[in-house]
Structure 1
């Protein structure tokens, strides 16, 4: 991979704020930073999609809605409804948490059906599937990537970044190897420095989820 400029890297960043106590002012700050640094998107909880959309309208910055966050254990119909509301309120992309327990049960049909339901509810908007790779075996990672490719989703995501270990380079490489070159891979988890961000991109990530976007970009600008 050619050396990334600060501008190039910024266009791969989903600037993220999912804290339970995130205030309106903090969402406004998030969106202002995304505008200023030309990040690809902001990623927020579904109740903040409408606000983020209003703040970023005509800016070129996309709005990603989290769905089923952070556990992924809600009923599939609940996730579908949350997706529909997020779309109605302006979400450009949906990022939802896989039902990990059902995957570990070996219930591949449930996992696939849930993905397809959310893809349908997203109404042609990109859907990203959050895997929580640190909770999965290698075989489970490969299986769920194969299901995602078949489902109509566009991305797999390493984790929620919700009290989880930092994303492993090896996991990004495995996901890229499994889904192929044209499918999206988003790296999430403890990304706070430019050198780490670049290493993940070199490993095969096409997008990065982090709340440290301004710091990362500044690390390349300085």
Structure 2
């Protein structure tokens, strides 16, 4: 979905709420909207990357359980347990990345400059994730070597799956971090355009309502459905004040 289309959807929701409250304290209403609903409305595309990451983490947990079952069959439990202790740290680090990423988006939506600090937390957590994964597989490979005399290597296909899945998660992290600036830029553009539509429409409301009333035959503005009249208000404002092509409006 395009940035401006999403901004128009958000601006309509804000205008609906403003109309319902008779346009009292619009600035507070706008701030409350972005704080309470902004993340869900704006960042669906962005947060999908986080959801994908969490799905990959869940896959890692499932595959690792298979490894634990193999470990129970060997006499090398202590060696395996050291690897799995690091694995728990690995899972925690990955989830921390997701939490910081979501906080970063939320702060950007609220126009909070603190989003850049959250970005640093994301990068720090990602660095920890990479370091932990290296240590994890170092211990795991050692365990495989000591357990090899008990089983054929075909018994350890799960180990290879975990390693491949971990690499996949690392690639996802790189993708997210590389796109952070673009994601934040998109989020801010949505809010900027939505706010401009709302505040501009409210500022010119009397003039806009008069123009609509002149053209709406047999329909007084108060009789119109609340959604309909606010769609018209936003459209008239954008037609008059924005550089949007008239056919788009």
TM-score range, shorter chain: under 0.3
The higher-RCO structure (CA 8 Å, 6+ apart) is: 2
Q: TM-score scaled to structure 2, two decimals?
A: 0.21
Q: TM-score scaled to structure 1, two decimals?
A: 0.22
Considering fraction of residues, name the structure with more strand.
1
Q: Tell me which structure has the larger Cα radius of gyration.
A: 2
